[in-house]
Chains A and B, each alone.
Chain A
Amino acid sequence: MSEHNQTRYSVGIDLGTTHCVLSYVSLDEANASPKVLPISQLVSPGAIDALDQLPSFSYRPHSAELNPGDCALPWQEQNTTLVGTIARTLGSKTPIRLVASAKSWLCHGGIDRRAKTLPFGSDDEVAKISPLEASAQYLDHLRAAWDSQFPLSPLKDQDVTVTIPASFDPVARELTAEAAKQIGCEHLTLLEEPMSAVYNWVNACGDDWRSQVSVGDIILVVDIGGGTTDLSLVAVGEEEGKLSLTRIAVGEHILLGGDNMDLALAYRVKAKLTEQGKTLEPWQIQAIGQACRDAKEALLGDSDIQVVPITVPSRGSKLFGGTLRCELTRDEVTQVLTEGFFPLVDISESPRQSPRSALTQRGLPYAQDPAVSRHLAAFLTRQKNALDSVPAHEEDPFAIFAEPLGSPVTTPPPSTEFIQPSAILLNGGVLKAPRIKARVVQLINQWLMQAGAPEARVLEGADLDLGVAKGASYYGQVRQGKGVRIRGGLANAYYVGIESAMPAIPGMEPPLEALCIAPFGMEEGSIVEAGEQTFGLVIGEPVHFRFFGSSTRHHDGAGALLSSWAEGELNELPSLTIELPLAGGRAGDILPVRLSSYFTEIGTLELEAVGLRADGTIDSAQRWHVELDVRD
């Protein structure tokens, strides 16, 4: 820690799909509480305001579109990068120049994430950037805003924690770390967003958190942001007589969030207006979406408002004449949002893969089923054995839970159809609406009741909009040993595919086996060798491996070789590439190697091929980096 002597702040950055937030806390001051940095940004040409949130948008202006002087930032007179509120505002009228949801593209295995593809599908004339560059732009804006506020403590010298969805694959993690390093962060850590929400809750409660949960509790974290839904489970255990927290499972990446909900309402209003014989132009639909966002907040609040008028004035200077008028009622909002996104489904239901709805957009793999309920049910069902993975301590607080899960022969009793959370922590802007919050709690408690389990408690004290960033800066304090640390480790197990050796049969692919190279729960900073399996690599030629991740197989140790697995247990990720340099020998030679993985302190996964000597022992001097492919 001696190199950290200069560090004075722990900075938490919530690099969100729709908004970024920066929070900070002094590391020199005892018991300092996290603050949120107002981020100076252009809000319209030539106007700068400091806001808590930086909208995660980048606008690629036409060369004649703006006066250069109107793009100046407090720290940069000659600025050409438009991010934040101004990008969102300009982009709402010129979407072909707007880069949005860069974060979702960053974890989209279907594209080359370093290629200049955004704004996706726009005219060639628009200067495109890659998802990586877009993320780096937002981070760089945050850095500049920070540096101008704290010129004596530049961001590069601070402990920076960037939050990522728990469901981010190794490549998206790697790219996020790369974007952070591009802006000069030297002390970087990645933290899963749901964990950050838990840290924020622990910090907000102070010592009181220990009275809100007890040993054996399972906390379900539901984080519904603007663009994504992220789920995690955290178990409360005991260590040396003190409560401890362990993240035991994470959900899959679900591109479903508040934006879908606003869009759904806008289409509902549009349908009503169409019924009245009115045809709408795209700009009007967009304006309706904006109006719906405000109306939604009023109708989902605690008040008794039943109807909110939706008015879209004409675009011209004449306000009257072209004005569209409509109403949005509470029943409609309930029907579209509560029933559409949070229906009271059975725990056994899983997300529907059927026809794409009108809510999808070309390009990003949006969730096909808009019902968050079914994604939640599927997650809890899939993770029914998650508790099993908690390492057994001498006094295993989970022993009572583990019992029915022991033998695969006996049919599990109904109560183990899904993992039963005993507490719920909500996060994300969507869950600010009291009625949606109530519905989520009702849904989970309905499942618990049917299984004969007690109701789950809602953990209060979280800040739904800024909590992730605050939790991340608090995490910096925790890393210094000032507070409770949530144990987590690697959120998924990772495998490489190996073709089984068998005689070739026409028309049949050789069966695939999966070798576990990085086990679930692997701790930060640790290295594992993937067993005795030896690969013969041809020097000078790139070799590709199929690469898989699993969020449910918690027991495979490094080196475990699977010959079969259940449907959906392993998800294929973009492949791995190893190319041994010529320096290792003559081109064409075959060199025996073993694979090892390193879960870095930062939170990224690094794979290495280690050379073997002729006698079969490991030659530590011969190590090569295995590339995580960014393209599919």
Chain B
Amino acid sequence: MNLETGPLTIDLLHLVLIAAVIFLVITVIRINAVTKAMIKTGTSTPVEPSANPEPQPQPQPQSEPEPEPETPIEQPASAPTVEALNTDSALQLLGLLQKESRFIDFTQEDLTDLSDAEIGAVARLIQAGSQKALAHYFTLVPIASELEESPIEIPVGFDPAHYRLNGNVVGEAPFNGTLIHRGWRVTRCELPKIAQGHDTTILAPAEVEL
């Protein structure tokens, strides 16, 4: 007789929720490498060309013309480099998630003694806020368009960054397998620009009412 079966399902929901958000944070930190430079220079550069209206040539007060996303591959092929990322936009995103969805507050809570109903009510809030924030700053699309748990063929010359092969990985492409997870990729990342000297380590200021 397990009296705790009921709550388990909802707890699972929360775990999935937390896992999803953390996954997204990590995703963003990854693409950070591409976007950080532009955010600091003040040119919000979407991963995909956006509908930004720039129909006329801008004079170039700064010497830098139209910054192309830098490709790390073009660096000298000496020793493989592992870059330390600029942390600003990671911190910025944490701040945004806190602002829109109380994300930091939520992850820092001890949920042990709380009822599932209480957690459930707050979880809705976190989910709604995170969803709104993510939709505003990112466009997320699945990598695979097939249905999950259905057969999929991975063609010759596929990009291993896009498809992770698991299990009985033998033979040559094309591979035939089952799609487990569709994957996610970001096609647009437009974080707010940050003012020079803005302290991004302050995710949320202490609030004082007078």
Instruction: Name A residues whose Cβ lies closer than 8 Å to a Cβ of B.
Output: 24, 26, 35, 37-38, 40, 43-50, 69-72, 74, 149-153, 294, 309, 311, 313, 315, 317-320, 323, 325
Q: How far is the CA of A40 from the CA of B43 in the complex (A)?
A: 11
Smallest Cβ-Cβ distance to A79: which chain B residue? B195
* Residue numbers in A under 8 Å from B195 (CB-CB): 46-48, 69-72
Known contacts A311-B125, A325-B121; decide if A149 and B53 are in contact (CB<8 Å): yes
| B124 partner, pick from A37, A48, A309, A317, beta carbons under 8 A | A309
Instruction: Name B residues whose Cβ lies closer than 8 Å to a Cβ of A.
Output: 42, 44, 52-59, 92, 99, 102, 105-106, 108-109, 114, 118-119, 121-122, 124-125, 128, 190, 192-199, 207
Q: How far is the CA of A35 from the CA of B196 in the complex (A)?
A: 30
* Residue numbers in B under 8 Å from A49 (CB-CB): 190, 192-193
B52 touching A319, Cβ below 8 Å? no
B128 touching A38, Cβ below 8 Å? no
Q: How far is the CA of A44 from the CA of B114 in the complex (A)?
A: 33
Q: How far is the CA of A72 from the CA of B92 in the complex (A)?
A: 17
A50 touching B198, Cβ below 8 Å? no
Q: How far is the CA of A590 from the CA of B42 in the complex (A)?
A: 65
| A37 partner, pick from B53, B57, B190, B196, beta carbons under 8 A | B53
B192 touching A48, Cβ below 8 Å? yes
* Residue numbers in A under 8 Å from B102 (CB-CB): 313, 319
* Residue numbers in A under 8 Å from B59 (CB-CB): 151-152
**Shortest CB–CB separation between residue A89 and chain B, in angstroms?**
9
Nearest 7 Cβ contacts at the A-B interface: A46-B198, A47-B192, A49-B192, A46-B195, A48-B193, A69-B197, A72-B195
Smallest Cβ-Cβ distance to B50: which chain A residue? A38
| A313 partner, pick from B99, B125, B190, beta carbons under 8 A | B125
A151 touching B58, Cβ below 8 Å? yes
A70 touching B105, Cβ below 8 Å? no
**Shortest CB–CB separation between residue A4 and chain B, in angstroms?**
18
**Shortest CB–CB separation between residue B191 and chain A, in angstroms?**
8
**Shortest CB–CB separation between residue B149 and chain A, in angstroms?**
28
**Shortest CB–CB separation between residue B208 and chain A, in angstroms?**
11
* Residue numbers in B under 8 Å from A152 (CB-CB): 56-59
**Shortest CB–CB separation between residue B55 and chain A, in angstroms?**
7
Known contacts A319-B122, A320-B122; decide if A47 and B56 are in contact (CB<8 Å): no
A69 touching B198, Cβ below 8 Å? yes
A319 touching B109, Cβ below 8 Å? yes
A309 touching B121, Cβ below 8 Å? yes
Smallest Cβ-Cβ distance to B111: which chain A residue? A320
Smallest Cβ-Cβ distance to B204: which chain A residue? A317
| B42 partner, pick from A69, A74, A153, beta carbons under 8 A | A74
* Residue numbers in B under 8 Å from A309 (CB-CB): 121, 124
Known contacts A74-B193, A323-B121, A323-B122; decide if A47 and B105 are in contact (CB<8 Å): no
**Shortest CB–CB separation between residue B48 and chain A, in angstroms?**
16
**Shortest CB–CB separation between residue A68 and chain B, in angstroms?**
10
